[in-house]
Chains A and B, each alone.
Chain A
Amino acid sequence: QVHLQESGPGLVKASETLSLTCTVSGGSISNYYWSWIRQPPEKGLEWIGYIHSSGSANYNPSLKSRATLSIDTSTSQFSLRLSSVTAADTAMYYCARVSTTVGANHYFDYWGQGILVTVSS
């Protein structure tokens, strides 16, 4: 059973950079895409981006200028950096595994429990 665990600071100051790490266990990080999704309090889900174990990444156009994903297959971890944060970036941040079908449908089949990040002024 694949298990994902988010880690990082729960409080970030406005204008600074949010940094989170997701550790994958119970399965290989290789040959999959890995993603970050966030959910502001009492709101819906927003996809941030995903990264392949090879290092190629794809981002939500609305966050592309501020988000950077990276991956370290030797430690089975992947990370998110989100720069110049504001109060609007306060959210529960989830990491997830992306599976794909032959027809290239991308879906999230394993999720972490989430980590709440609050941006303070």
Chain B
Amino acid sequence: DIQMTQSPSSLSASIGDRVTITCRASQSIGRDLNWYQQKPGKGPNLLIYTASNLQFGVPPRFSGSGSGTYFTLTISSLQPEDFATYYCQQSFGSLTFGGGTRVEMK
């Protein structure tokens, strides 16, 4: 299995902050990397697909980049509704998710 490692596992930030979450793959996965946001009690919501493509309806403050083994999700200016847990997911091999990054209010 391809292992996906997210960092940090949690972070504290303030409204307006620029936030970056990283996701590393145990082997090269090209650009087969997707990002999701999950709020408590809800199913995940797709934010970014194929490393950098913004899903329809997702605010442009979210962006993704990377290829190979290193990927990032950036929130350019954190909003109150962005406090949530974020997951990366690869589909190069058998589908696997990262362990998640919890974004909390400072």
Contact = CB atoms under 8 A, between A and B. Distances in A.
Contacts of B20: none
Interface residues of B, number: 25
A44 B100 contact: yes
Contacts of A99: 49
Interface stretch (A13-21, A66-74, A76-84, A103-111): A103-111
A109 B55 contact: yes
Interface string B79-100: 0000000010101001111111
A94 interface: yes
Chain B interface helix/strand/loop/mixed: loop
A107 B58 CA distance: 15
A113 interface: yes
Interface string B1-37: 1000000000000000000000000000011111010
A2 to B, nearest CB: 12
B49 A107 contact: yes
Interface in B53-84: 55
B91 A105 contact: yes
Given A103-B31, A108-B36, A109-B55, A44 B43 contact: no
Contacts of B106: none
Interface in A99-121: 99, 101, 103-109, 111-114
A96 B36 CA distance: 13
A1 B42 CA distance: 18
A99 B89 CA distance: 13
27 contacts: A44-B98, A45-B44, A45-B89, A45-B97, A47-B89, A47-B94, A47-B97, A60-B94, A60-B95, A61-B94, A62-B1, A94-B43, A96-B43, A99-B49, A103-B32, A105-B31, A105-B33, A105-B34, A105-B49, A106-B32, A107-B34, A107-B50, A108-B36, A108-B89, A109-B46, A109-B55, A113-B43
